[in-house]
Structure 1
Amino acid sequence: MNTTAHDWLRTLVAFDTTSRNSNLHLIETVRDALNQHGLPSTLYYSSDRTKANLFATLPAQNGGTQGGIVLSGHTDVVPVDGQDWHSDPFTLTEKDGAWYGRGTADMKGFIATALSLVPEFLAMPRQKPLHLALSYDEEVGCLGAPVMLKALQEQGQHIDGCVVGEPTGMQVVVAHKGINAYQCHVHGHAAHSSLTPQGCNAIEYAAQLICRIREIAEQFKQQGPYDRAFDVPYTTMTTNMIAGGIALNTIPDTCQFSYEFRNLPGMRAQTIAEQVEHYVQEVLLPRMRSEYQDARIEITSLASAPALEASEQDAITALARALTKDTTTRKVAYATEAGLFQQAGIPSIICGPGHIQVAHKANEYVEMAQIQACAVFLRQLSHSLCPTA
């Protein structure tokens, strides 16, 4: 049975849980280990049952399962394709006081630490429960956690607070931007390029929409709103992938591109999306249909995760600050599942071992000292649920 954070991290890293793969072997390994401690787990599967979330409750001393704090982590990792790794990314490697491997920082180090402490947690006479929540497909749009959160709400589960263990250097992060990703498919009409007026050029109309997206982005950059606590203090919009056309001498009938925006807390994502839709309906489509009456533009949501803005008055924020002795206000541009927990009525903060600067890169690592600091934090967190002397 795994007992130390190192043992657990070695086990977790060995599972290639790149988002395109199943995470079931990892989830089932955790489930079986928790079962050996007398802790049942509930699995919440994806629609095709190739992936699963896991939720387990370490009950209070009186057997209670309501309230308490949830420790949340995602089990999927980003690809290693084309990266220059100096060691096998799926074999935990120790060097210079750090452990190297895909997911060590983002965020299997946090999960490994929490799992290694389960025996200690169980021995504590808590007045409130401690929960573990492991999700799938966070890296491709936070797709798994909503399945679990919806089920927990339907079951009437109440939780007082959540710590999402993304890599923050064990510092408290209280806000992040939302993320909304879309695919746009522009349908025009093909023609030989020598007969240009007979076609409807999908690439050119896609380019006009991309330029409009850039204009909206520039408005946010120049006019705000701003929040200077963020490293990028305004909402951003970018077009990041595009494909279209079949030959140099053919007017393209299709073009696809993907874009995203990352909105500050307090900015309605729907309002931003509507700016794009308004331009499509009021400007682009009339132009296209003057050339080809069946032209159309389809915009599909690929992923959406709400922004997080924790309140300093929330008990979980105050507790995390007290335990880490960290009073600095930190807000980050990347998105996490914390916004989803907050949206579900569970006050949340982000605090975990490792550093975001090494996440997703070749030779990802987490320092042993960070894992040790995480263990201290989680022990204290569990002690906070115990009766005071």
Structure 2
Amino acid sequence: MNKRQWLETLVGFDTTSRNSNLELIAALRDNLEQQGIKPWFAHNKEKTKANLFATLPATAGANAGATQGGIVLSGHTDVVPVDGQKWDTDPFKLVEKDGALYARGSCDMKGFIATAMALTPEFLAMPRTKPLHLAFSYDEEIGCIGAPAMLEEIVKRGIKVDGCVVGEPTSMNVVVAHKGINVFACKVHGKSAHSSLTPQGCNAIEYAARMICAIRDFADAYKANGPYDQFFDVPFTTMTTNQIRGGIAVNTIPELCEFTYEFRNLPGMTVADIQAQIDVYVRDVLLPKMKTEFADARIEIDNFAGSPALEAVEQAAITELVRALTGDRETRKVAYGTEAGLFQQIGIPTIVCGPGSIDNAHKPNEFVTLAQLDRCEQFLRKLGKSLETA
């Protein structure tokens, strides 16, 4: 299949993160096995989702058959929901219009996976002296939850890789850094009472609100005082509260309030140092106040998802290679997160470069242009050929 046919196939699977991706993974597996490639998988605990990793061994010279070294092409198979969005077409059916392909995931990021799969027969026919690897993950969109299981298996299997290209949408420009993302779930436990008897209760929503305001104060401080990195589109660390739930009735003091917050940190800033500010506020200010009203009041915080920041090394071979193949020498750093930081964390030099604009991701009528997919195809073909003399 060509890249358009592959993309049509891939977007036809509704791999919204709440769903299984196993049908899509099976389609990739079957195609690879037909070409003599035996992928392996790293599943979630429930066995309802899977990462796929496949190695196209070296094909030439003394290294023929080698599976160590080479380059990884990485992409995630899940997509964000379409709930509440107004689409002009079926989001899970590829539609071509005015030089663009519309569907959920066409840009973020099944276009990259489709292009890599379409080129696999060419890759296999190239006289490569180093292998090429495919790494396709699940649950990237809800905090990069899936990839760690695959990376753990890579380490366990002793697989050594020279570099990695994560094909998130960058308009085929080179991105050398992105922020880290960390998502926290907070549960504030108070005491219920009839709302006419407020001294007998401890209002979980009101104390959660104080904590949320404190998080906003910390965020405002980062905006006002830095640290800054002007290469980023948002040049400071951000913190936001994005979901909240609490209360059971208008006349009942709530005993529980739950909310989630996230921060997106600049490279070089540690998760522990940022979260420590919130922990100190809870321990020294908020919880003592709550306990004057209810001795058993408590606040639970769980860091349930996250991915480290990426800061690529300009002198790394993968950075120099991707810059040479694209002709892009600009320094670009982005506020959104990817799985690139996870690859870097296990010692694999990584860069981000893929088709489509991030401005089109996650929106209704998401699309990728045919021109972008063509540029991706040309880039990946050159990357494969670079392994002929690596």
Give the TM bin, normalised by the shorter chain.
Answer: over 0.9
Residue 9 (1) aligns with residue 11 (2) = no
Shift of 1:193: 2.0
Q: Distance in 1 between matches of 2:181 and 2:121?
A: 37
2:36 aligned with 1:24, yes or no? Answer: no
Choose which of 258, 263, 276 in structure 2 pairs with 1:261: 263
Instruction: Give, in whole Å, the separation in 2 of the partners of 1:29 and 1:243.
Output: 39
Q: Which moved more, 1:340-349 or 1:248-257?
A: 248-257
Q: How does 1:46-195 map to 2 (within 5 A)?
A: 46-61=44-59, 62-195=64-197
Distance (whole Å) between structure 2 residues aligned to residue 47 and residue 349 of structure 1: 29
Q: Distance in 1 between matches of 2:257 and 2:39?
A: 45
1:386 maps to amino acid? E
CA–CA distance in structure 2, aligned partners of residues 335 and 262 of structure 1:
8
**1:228 counterpart (227, 230, 241):** 230
How far is the alpha carbon of 1:359 from its aligned partner?
0.5
Match of 2:388 in 1: 386
Offset from partner CA, 1:211-243 (integer Å, 9 cap, x none): 110111011001100000000000000111111
Alignment-mate amino acid for residue 299 of structure 2? I
**Which residue matches 1:308?**
310
Q: Deviations over 1:83-134 (max 9, x none)?
A: 1111111111111111111100000000000000011101111111000000
CA-CA distance at 1:43 after TM superposition: 1.1
Task: Quote the Cα distance in structure 1 between the aligned partners of 2:192 and 2:90.
Answer: 48
Greater Cα offset, 48-57 or 210-219: 210-219
How far 1:192 sits from its partner (Å)?
Answer: 1.7
Match for 2:158: what amino acid?
G
SS of aligned partner of 1:113: helix
Counterpart in the other structure of 1:362 = 364
Structure 2, gaps ≥5 residues long: none
Whole-Å separation in 1 of the counterparts to 2:258 and 2:94:
39
Query: In 1, distance between residues paired with 2:193 and 2:91?
Result: 48
Deviation at 1:252, TM superposition (A): 1.4
User: Which runs of structure 2 are paired with 1:201-350 in the superposition (5 Å)?
Assistant: 201-350=203-352
Q: For 2:361 and 2:271, locate their aligned partners in 1 and report how far apart those are by CA, in whole Å.
A: 26
Distance 1:145 1:246 in 2: 37
Q: Which digits, 9 at most, give the CA deviation of each residue in 1:149-208, with x for residues without a partner?
A: 001101100111000000111000000000001111101111122221111111111111
Aligned residue type for 2:139: D
**Letter of the structure 2 residue corresponding to residue 38 of structure 1:** G
CA RMSD in angstroms comes to 0.9
Q: In the alignment, residue 246 of structure 1 is paired with which amino acid?
A: I
Measure the CA separation in 2 of the matches of 1:110 and 1:256: 37
Normalising by structure 2, we get a TM-score of: 0.98
2:31 — aligned with what? 33
TM-score, normalization by structure 1: 0.98
- Letter paired with 2:15: T
Q: Deviations over 1:36-84 (max 9, x none)?
A: 1101100111110000000000001210000100000000001111211
CA–CA distance in structure 2, aligned partners of residues 34 and 95 of structure 1: 30
**After TM superposition, what 4+ stretches of structure 1 lie above 4 angstroms from structure 2?**
none
Q: Distance in 2 between matches of 1:9 and 1:211?
A: 44
* 1:338-368 deviations in Å (ceiling 9; x for gaps): 0100111101011001111011111111111
- 1:56 alignment partner AA: A
Give, in whole Å, the separation in 2 of the partners of 1:29 and 1:232.
Answer: 39
What's the offset of the Cα at 1:248?
Answer: 2.4
Q: Residues of 2 paired with 1:246 and 1:80: CA distance?
A: 29
Amino acid aligned to 1:16? D
- Aligned partners of 1:92 and 1:100: how far apart in 2? 6
**Shift, 1:274, TM fit:** 1.3
One-letter identity of the residue aligned with 1:197:
P
Q: Which position in structure 1 is the counterpart of 2:375?
A: 373
**Cα offset, 1:284, TM superposition:** 1.2
In 1, distance between residues paired with 2:253 and 2:31?
Answer: 59
Matched residue SS, 2:67:
coil
Task: Tell me which amino acid in the other structure corresponds to 1:47.
Answer: K
Distance 1:77 1:47 in 2: 20
Matched position secondary structure for 2:292: helix
Amino acid of the structure 2 residue aligned with 1:33: N
| Identity %, equivalent residues | 66
